[in-house]
Structure 1
């Protein structure tokens, strides 16, 4: 078996174009679904939604709106990181940011069954949503056709630091987002809102599970 780091995966040779687009949209929906579960679980949301959730709580805006705005800033971050390597077609991420925001609000409505006052059950939902989100991220990134902004900025940083695995860079970005969310929460609301022990768990393990999904996939295709 060859080393996956020396022989990078090329999904274009393994999936048809319609399949790749289907995987991308399925991945976005899974991520939004996982975000909604963590919001209802009440132990702090996932890392990618930490800033939007805090901003929504502080401003009264919907999670979908704040998600779109934060994703817009992440796209601007990609422009700064990639500079001339940022191509015009990558601006389509603004469309995906809008879609992702809409899906977040929709999924909040269809996952009210995840609301609970039971601490142990809340932890079950957090762990479940973390694993589910990592799978959604992997499915979305695997086709290598486009990204939503949260993964787009990770991919941009991997281009700048090519020795870093996607999942490892994801962990760094996640911790940065959580730190910013905590700071915003303290400044605007005088305490931690939307950032709790579940958020810390997600920051540790989403990137970890993304790496695991990737390694399992590479092994399954003989890489």
Structure 2
């Protein structure tokens, strides 16, 4: 009789967690694309790439996000040096995925153009909810940090400051750089507006809401899916 080969349960767990992370990455990118469509600014971490995509439109928002994320990965290497864990280089292909997903999202909703301010606000709210949902899935997957969060962790470890405080500083710095670039390139505020502030203030609450709603169910599913193999 033929013997069926079974995947190692721990390998299966890792595969499922990375799949969940990639699904989370997809929804996060959709959130950025939807918010971008509102033309009221995007989330703080994406704001620099957003301004650059408006100024140098030869490259799409997705590709500017790839460049920005890779710059943050390089920043981690410079900060941590020998302490940098090479597994974190997985952030590079995941950054490419995020950029491609974002461009796909932009294309997906390209048919719709908001003509009223209330429509723009609705897009910002919807984008923030979708972004928060995606981030919560990535957090629950618990495999690797995205480049922004990983950079903040590297910085907080290096200067020995609390992660949450460094995260606030990082977000403010991203918005500050985006505003500076905006005035440098356009002599006015472009690409960073009230939508950026809304995303900065509300994304965390959305993530917490979805974490409470989904964490127990998803983690139970991940454990149960490998239990049959572990019992064999």
What TM-score results when the alignment is normalised by the length of structure 1?
A: 0.81
- Counterpart position of 1:100: 98
Looking at CA atoms only, which structure, 1 or 2, has the larger radius of gyration?
Answer: 2
- Deviation for aligned residue 1:164: 4.0
- Counterpart position of 2:40: 43
Change beyond 3 A, Cα 1:90–1:31: same
How far apart are the structure 2 equivalents of 1:27 and 1:58? Answer: 29
How far apart are the structure 2 equivalents of 1:131 and 1:172? Answer: 23
Within the alignment, does 1:188 sit opposite 2:168 as a pair? no
How large is the RMSD of aligned CA atoms in angstroms?
2.8
- Counterpart position of 1:33: 30
- Deviation for aligned residue 1:210: 2.8
- Counterpart position of 1:116: 114
How many residues are matched?
208
- Deviation for aligned residue 1:151: 2.8
- Deviation for aligned residue 1:147: 2.9
| 3-state secondary structure, aligned to 1:42 | coil
Give structure 1 stretches of 5+ with no counterpart.
1-12
- Counterpart position of 2:63: 65
Change beyond 3 A, Cα 1:131–1:121: same
> What are the residue-to-residue correspondences of 1:38-187 with 2, within 5 Å?
38-60=35-57, 61-157=59-155, 159=157, 163-165=162-164, 170-187=167-184
How far apart are the structure 1 equivalents of 2:169 and 2:205? Answer: 11
Give structure 2 stretches of 5+ with no counterpart.
1-9, 220-232
Within the alignment, does 1:17 sit opposite 2:14 as a pair? yes
